[in-house]
A and B are shown apart, each in its own frame.
Chain A
């Protein structure tokens, strides 16, 4: 049935593979143990020096020769320090890194083939945040590797330069794109300085870019973002963009948005938009929305729940409506939601001002 020689070959081959596997595993465990000890030693040596540079704001703190593994450890520690410190301490550390040739070395590594090395260099350059590194980082947005592109997007956001926002918005629509969430986080890091670029982003051809611009204007937009967002809420052809504009208007909390938000709760509007607009009316908390919200509390679950919470936020008139409904028959539309809202509010007044995120 089975010959002796082929069997021997199979058995020996299996044995050799198992032995190699065992040797590789043991070898890996050994090298890892040795490597971790070495890394810990370099970390113990360099960390206090970097802390001194940033705390004393002194770029002349003597550092040992940075080569091989020690240089890698320096880069990791410097990246971590730069994420935490601001001002003169940060400048001192950047000066040390630049004078030691670390910034140029990182830029050179961006052109090398190893992805992990490039990602480390990208993270470092992002934290250093010099404008000279920007073109190199932007070139990486066209990389084949999606994680490399995402790392470049993160680094560009870390530079804090609002000029990168149009580039970042474009990258979502590019052939080699970067996920919405990664771009969002990157732009969030830029903060209110990016508001002008984001307002322009509301006119972008790509609906994802418009959605993201709307969403982030709600976080950092300020009063000047109101009108563009209202236009977006009423006129954009994509429901997703309108939903995010409604959410942003709720976050901005201006009563000027109330008529547009009320308009967006109409029955002929998409259901998710109606739910978000209802919630946004609660975040604005303007009593002029009470009549609309009273009608909406009898609507479908998501809208009704948000309407109940929104009514609670609309002052005494809204609470009167809730109390009247809570006292009504249980099958009266909106009555269970009113009871829940008032019970929750009695338990914790602060809850009612934090509407559900659903």
Chain B
């Protein structure tokens, strides 16, 4: 009996070790690919005509769509920051998604809004009724759409799409802080490549960084461990992971916090799905499906330059809910587009990306926690020997630390947005600490998300206490928006 137990235990543990090895090696390959691309871009950056788009008479105008639900604290500054972005021609559409606070009143007072009967053609479906549309009496290119909330960010975005006039749509969260040149950088791929349909921007954590009047002055590594670890996570997964996927032509997620899309393509796929939990990934998957089915030539880009900064959760509860929702959203996307998985008709998206997300992103936390449990129990019962346990931890955590350190090194070699030595030290430490406790908790939140996804449960939003930025600290506790925070 004992022999059988040892054989089963040993077989499973070797499977987990192999799984980690494959997962981490795939990630290493992505990171190395991304690093080559990033360093190449970084060295050439002074000579690739960054300022060109601003002077470009053919630069495509952009409609910036900003959904807002109970954002009275930030909304006026956010709208002003968007209106102040460097771009030759843009309009900012704020969709007040059934706010119950003074979001609209603040806007009305700040911009002297007047109700105007704008035509909002039913180009994409919306569930919540549009109550009214407003323009400022001044000359700011601002449109405010007031609509009934149905508890869906996607529905608010669809209302914004209906009100938009310009060929490019920029979807941005109301609490995101954009670099002044963000739109210029994001529009560049569309100017250069006529087949470009979507571009995602790099998202970074802004906690404890210095922000003045809606602009990032100095990036800092947060003081608390939870956001600090997320900085490293964002570097590894969002900056390098997505740069690598984009280089392979396999981008599946364009963050809802900041992404630019071609309006005609978004309309063609029917806009956002109001029922989708991960509406950003759902839209991108739908675009892939349509264009691949029709065998149309297209491309999607990822702009690695750090252009969008967002406050990440500082407490376990909020972070747990956020990560649970992300997992639930991923489950829903994989379920909705299951017909594309392993389907050669959908090329690399069907044969590489979706299987990767299924086998490693979705099932990864299950395998990891089971493996950890199995090794611990096996060690306690004497079913496995100590060297094997060490090997397991080396592969699972040592490799993980290596990937994080490579990410930090690449950031240091390229954008170098954290100038202080102290920040580098904290980031290096966070990459190690991440593996003790945080990673296991994270797996647990993700497993709960998968479970909720399988049971088709509505995600829980709760309340997010925003801490604010240094030195513009905003002490107010603010309800977490009904619209999901971005990935």
Within 8 A of A (CB), among B236-265: 263
Inter-chain contacts of A188 with B (CB < 8 A)? 55-57
Q: C-beta contact mask, A285-312 vs B, less than 8 Å → 1, else 0?
A: 0000000000000000100010000000
**B428 adjacent to A22 (CB under 8 Å):** yes
Inter-chain contacts of B347 with A (CB < 8 A)? none
Cα distance, A271 to B164, chains bound together (Å): 19
Q: C-beta contact mask, B392-411 vs A, less than 8 Å → 1, else 0?
A: 00100011011001101100
Within 8 A of A (CB), among B397-440: 398-399, 401-402, 405-406, 408-409, 412-413, 416, 421, 424, 428
**B384 adjacent to A356 (CB under 8 Å):** no
Inter-chain contacts of A28 with B (CB < 8 A)? 409, 412-413
**B421 adjacent to A2 (CB under 8 Å):** no
Inter-chain contacts of A358 with B (CB < 8 A)? 61, 164-167, 263
Cβ of B137 to closest chain A Cβ, rounded Å: 6
Residue of A nearest to B122 (CB): A301
Cα distance, A266 to B399, chains bound together (Å): 65
Cβ of B364 to closest chain A Cβ, rounded Å: 21
Whether A344 sits at the interface, judged by CB under 8 Å, is yes
**Chain B residues bordering chain A, tally (CB within 8 A):** 57
Whether A21 sits at the interface, judged by CB under 8 Å, is yes
Q: Which of A55-63, A89-97, A103-111, A119-127 contacts B (4 or more CB under 8 A)?
A: A119-127
Of A29, A184, A219, A339, the contact of B117 (CB 8 Å cutoff):
A339
Cα distance, A116 to B39, chains bound together (Å): 12
Within 8 A of B (CB), among A169-225: 179-182, 184-185, 188, 215, 219
Cβ of A357 to closest chain B Cβ, rounded Å: 4
Inter-chain contacts of A26 with B (CB < 8 A)? 424
Whether A40 sits at the interface, judged by CB under 8 Å, is no
Cα distance, A147 to B191, chains bound together (Å): 14
Q: C-beta contact mask, A21-33 vs B, less than 8 Å → 1, else 0?
A: 1101110110010
Cα distance, A81 to B139, chains bound together (Å): 35
Cα distance, A173 to B112, chains bound together (Å): 51
Q: C-beta contact mask, A223-254 vs B, less than 8 Å → 1, else 0?
A: 00000000000000000000000000000000
**B394 adjacent to A11 (CB under 8 Å):** yes
Q: Known interface pairs A14-B402, A25-B412, A219-B57. Does A122 touch B387 (Cβ–Cβ under 8 Å)?
A: no
Of A24, A119, A301, the contact of B123 (CB 8 Å cutoff):
A301
**A3 adjacent to B387 (CB under 8 Å):** yes
Q: Which of B44-52, B172-180, B324-332 contacts A (4 or more CB under 8 A)?
A: B44-52
Cα distance, A2 to B18, chains bound together (Å): 13
Q: Known interface pairs A119-B44, A150-B49. Does A18 touch B405 (Cβ–Cβ under 8 Å)?
A: yes
Whether B118 sits at the interface, judged by CB under 8 Å, is yes
Cα distance, A350 to B141, chains bound together (Å): 12
Whether A115 sits at the interface, judged by CB under 8 Å, is yes
Whether B462 sits at the interface, judged by CB under 8 Å, is no
Whether A39 sits at the interface, judged by CB under 8 Å, is no
Cβ of B247 to closest chain A Cβ, rounded Å: 14
Cα distance, A139 to B47, chains bound together (Å): 18
Q: Known interface pairs A2-B385, A305-B119, A357-B165. Does A115 touch B192 (Cβ–Cβ under 8 Å)?
A: no
Whether B370 sits at the interface, judged by CB under 8 Å, is no
Cα distance, A215 to B10, chains bound together (Å): 69
Residue of A nearest to B401 (CB): A18
Q: C-beta contact mask, B153-197 vs A, less than 8 Å → 1, else 0?
A: 000000000001111000000000000000000000001111000
**A115 adjacent to B391 (CB under 8 Å):** no
Whether B344 sits at the interface, judged by CB under 8 Å, is no
Inter-chain contacts of B263 with A (CB < 8 A)? 358
Cα distance, A224 to B209, chains bound together (Å): 57
Whether B22 sits at the interface, judged by CB under 8 Å, is no
**B56 adjacent to A21 (CB under 8 Å):** no
Of B167, B192, B406, the contact of A182 (CB 8 Å cutoff):
B192
**B387 adjacent to A22 (CB under 8 Å):** no
Most B CB within 10 A of own CB, among A3, A26, A179, A358: A358
Inter-chain contacts of B43 with A (CB < 8 A)? 116
Whether B4 sits at the interface, judged by CB under 8 Å, is no
**A7 adjacent to B408 (CB under 8 Å):** no
Whether A348 sits at the interface, judged by CB under 8 Å, is yes
Cα distance, A340 to B116, chains bound together (Å): 7
Residue of B nearest to A212 (CB): B58
Whether B217 sits at the interface, judged by CB under 8 Å, is no
Whether A316 sits at the interface, judged by CB under 8 Å, is no
**B56 adjacent to A24 (CB under 8 Å):** no
Whether B333 sits at the interface, judged by CB under 8 Å, is no
Cβ of A48 to closest chain B Cβ, rounded Å: 22
Q: Known interface pairs A7-B390, A116-B44, A185-B56. Does A348 touch B139 (Cβ–Cβ under 8 Å)?
A: yes
Residue of B nearest to A350 (CB): B139
Whether A154 sits at the interface, judged by CB under 8 Å, is yes
**A357 adjacent to B61 (CB under 8 Å):** yes
**A179 adjacent to B387 (CB under 8 Å):** no
Whether B89 sits at the interface, judged by CB under 8 Å, is yes
Cβ of B309 to closest chain A Cβ, rounded Å: 22
**A2 adjacent to B166 (CB under 8 Å):** no
Whether B359 sits at the interface, judged by CB under 8 Å, is no
**B405 adjacent to A21 (CB under 8 Å):** yes
**B394 adjacent to A1 (CB under 8 Å):** no
Inter-chain contacts of A2 with B (CB < 8 A)? 385, 387-388, 390-391
Within 8 A of B (CB), among A326-358: 336-337, 339-340, 343-344, 347-348, 350, 356-358
Q: Known interface pairs A18-B405, A21-B409. Does A1 touch B191 (Cβ–Cβ under 8 Å)?
A: no
Inter-chain contacts of B398 with A (CB < 8 A)? 11, 14
Cβ of A250 to closest chain B Cβ, rounded Å: 14
Cβ of A243 to closest chain B Cβ, rounded Å: 12
Cβ of B52 to closest chain A Cβ, rounded Å: 5
Whether A113 sits at the interface, judged by CB under 8 Å, is no
Cβ of B11 to closest chain A Cβ, rounded Å: 11
Q: Known interface pairs A115-B44, A116-B43, A122-B47. Does A347 touch B135 (Cβ–Cβ under 8 Å)?
A: yes
6 more CB-based (< 8 A) A-B contacts, given A2-B390, A10-B394? A1-B14, A1-B387, A11-B390, A119-B44, A182-B192, A340-B118
Name 23 A/B residue pairs within 8 A (Cβ), A-sorted. Answer: A3-B387, A14-B394, A14-B402, A21-B405, A22-B428, A28-B412, A116-B44, A123-B47, A147-B48, A150-B48, A151-B47, A179-B191, A181-B56, A181-B191, A181-B192, A182-B52, A182-B192, A185-B56, A188-B57, A305-B165, A336-B119, A357-B61, A357-B167
4 shortest interchain CB distances as A-B pairs = A181-B191, A1-B388, A119-B47, A179-B192
Binding site for A on B (CB under 8 A): 10, 13-14, 43-44, 46-49, 52, 55-58, 60-61, 89, 114, 116-119, 121, 123, 135, 137, 139, 164-167, 191-194, 263, 384-385, 387-388, 390-391, 394, 398-399, 401-402, 405-406, 408-409, 412-413, 416, 421, 424, 428
